[in-house]
Amino acid sequence: MRFLDQPPRYLFFTGKGGVGKTSLACATAIHLAGLGRKVLLVSTDPASNVAQVFEQEIGSRVAPIKAVAGLSALEIDPQEAARAYRDRIVGPVRGILPDDVVRGIEEQLSGACTTEIAAFDEFTGLLTDTQLTSGFDHVVFDTAPTGHTIRLLQLPAAWSGFLASNTEGASCLGPLAGLQKQREQYSAAVAALADAARTRLVLVARAQASTLREVARTHAELAAIGLSRQFLVINGVLADDAEARADGLAAAVLRRERDALAAIPEPLRGLPTDHVPLMPFNLVGLPALRALLGTTGSSPLEASSAARVHAVAALPNLGSLVDGLAADGHGLVMLMGKGGVGKTTLAAAIAVELARRGFPVHLTTSDPAAHLAETLEGSLGNLAVSRIDPLVETERYRQHVLETSGKDLDTHGRAMLEEDLRSPCTEEIAVFQAFSRVIREAGKKFVVMDTAPTGHTLLLLDATGAYHKEIARHMDKSGVTHFTTPMMQLQDPKQTKVLIVTLAETTPVLEAANLQADLRRAGIEPWAWIINNSVAAARTDAAVLRRRAEQEWPQIEAVREHHARRVALVPVQAEEPIGVSRLVALVAGQSKEPARPA
């Protein structure tokens, strides 16, 4: 593996949830320890399962891994770090400032930016305090800070003046209010990250177009701030063998992966790249982790369970959810979830099925790839399709905030505001503003909305008065007593159905559960969950895919028993679900399979 050649002291693994960062980090740590090195493995992943992987308890203090000589591990709980961080900032003003002001501060400190910065606050000492890591040759991190967080930490001081003047829009700078005393330590940490002699960044992706696009953005963002020494690992690649080529589903997966790798984004083509094969077993325990990087033979396979196969077959398909949606005759249908889980395709499938049943439907998406609009245009009389350009909407929003909140700021303050407006929250807010223009149509037809904002962003919008309170003030001045704002519509289950989309994998399910908690804090109760791209729900004779299907079951059970009021299981498709006939098959729970090879 090229990313293991002459490794520096620090190795960071970064990528989307569910691509295998933790498994690769653990396997790397074991490999380095096997070479006689002293290794510290550090996890800051909220979905971390390092303790499960090594089958022993690991906490917030360095603990030796009993079964691996020379290896120790440390788990930093980012949620606990964020709670402690919030308490340090909010505690001194609680009881002094009005309760509604304190709640606003707490909400500003409740998002992903706070969690990431708080985690960075915890592990930055590992990069700068030589005494903490003096006994280790390598420190392996299973997550890395984003470029946005690093840029925030590089900005000039004077947070207090900026925060006092920033009265409009959601802000990611709030979490930085408690960092003033540690700026020298952060500067040293950022310098360590940018030093190729000390640090190697490993970008982890799957052989899928969406995850490759995502990792290309991460690569460009990190390279732009000096973190240019990067390696790429394509994880979970299906082996091209006779068995896979003879199976309809496996052969289709092979073609999709080959096409995705052939069209890999240009910025990634020059990176040192490794391919790690898809394993037919859970990556738990030393034999499995050693097999991941090819240092030993394969791990034993678990036996399949016929009972589980029947139980999966009995789960509702997407069509059952459409039955429930259709009963209302109209309304807003919002699909939410992390990138790469298939929201756009599922939104199109739901919209097509509702239109086929005779309902007028408006499908709107902010997906940068407009292929669905091109595929569906004019194909169904009841279906209208629109696409919102996130770049255009975000730039419009940025200019508005700079002309209002930024007009009286000095050079440093304006620099901070401009960085704040490069955060993920900004795009969500800007796109939601555009979505809000079509929400009112849901009173007479179905509006199916793809790529929706998180609950945290919605709460920030509400707290800043960008929508709900602003409209309420205008209505009050004009004497209007009955009105509906977008926020009120989202909170009304009779008007809005929120569908959370996930995959039957540990990290995506945990991320979806966190999203649901965010939405509930915003007063929005998700109507159903959709488990997408399930191998367990598809037909395959390929041994590796059948074993992968078996491993989906615990996550399917977790969604059904602990998270979702309603759930639908959508099988992985042999062919890309583009075009009306394939989208209809998707709703019915079928897979439009090609003819099996002779």
- From the candidates 14, 22, 210, 534, give the one annotated as an active-site residue: 22
Structure tokens, 307: 């009972």
- From the candidates 17, 18, 248, 455, give the one annotated as an active-site residue: 18
* Distant-in-sequence, close-in-space partners of 100: CB < 8 Å, separation ≥ 6: none
CA dist 44 and 31 (Å) reads: 20
21 is catalytic: yes
Tell me which long-range contacts 552-560 makes (C-beta under 8 A, separation of at least 24).
552/504, 552/505, 553/305, 553/308, 553/311, 553/312, 553/504, 555/504, 555/505, 555/506, 555/509, 555/531, 556/312, 556/315, 556/504, 556/531, 558/509, 559/502, 559/504, 559/509, 559/512, 559/529, 559/531, 560/315
- From the candidates 14, 23, 43, 344, give the one annotated as an active-site residue: 23
* Distant-in-sequence, close-in-space partners of 562: CB < 8 Å, separation ≥ 6: none
Helix (H) or strand (E) holding 190: helix 183-194
**Cβ 468 vs Cβ 462: under 8 Å:** yes
**Cβ 45 vs Cβ 235: under 8 Å:** no
350 exposed, middle or buried (CB, 10 Å; 0-12, 13-18, 19+)? buried
- From the candidates 16, 17, 21, 147, give the one annotated as an active-site residue: 21
**Cβ 582 vs Cβ 573: under 8 Å:** yes
Give strand ranges (E) for 247-401: 273-277, 331-336, 361-365, 383-387
Q: How would you classify the pairing of strands 71-75 and 63-64?
A: antiparallel
Tokens 């009286």 appear where? Answer: 408
45 is catalytic: yes
- From the candidates 20, 111, 337, 589, give the one annotated as an active-site residue: 20
CA dist 239 and 279 (Å) reads: 9
With b meaning 16 or more CB within 10 Å and e meaning fewer, what string describes 118-151?
Answer: bbbbbbbebbbeeebbeebbbbbbbbbbbbbbbb
DSSP character at residue 498: E
Edge-to-edge strands, sheet with 63-64: 63-64, 71-75, 39-43, 138-141, 10-14, 199-206, 230-237, 273-277
Cβ neighbours, 10 Å, residue 356: 17
**Cβ 242 vs Cβ 189: under 8 Å:** no
72 is catalytic: no
579 is catalytic: no
CA dist 253 and 9 (Å) reads: 37
| Side-chain-side CA neighbours of residue 311 (13 Å) | 13
CA dist 374 and 378 (Å) reads: 9
420 is catalytic: no
Helix (H, G, I), strand (E, B) or coil at 206: strand
20 is catalytic: yes
**Cβ 464 vs Cβ 529: under 8 Å:** no
- From the candidates 45, 247, 450, 462, give the one annotated as an active-site residue: 45
**Cβ 163 vs Cβ 173: under 8 Å:** yes
**Cβ 492 vs Cβ 332: under 8 Å:** no
451 is catalytic: no
Indicate if the alpha-carbon torsion angle 365, 366, 371, 373 is positive or negative. positive
- From the candidates 72, 114, 507, 540, give the one annotated as an active-site residue: 507
Catalytic site positions: 18, 20-23, 45, 507
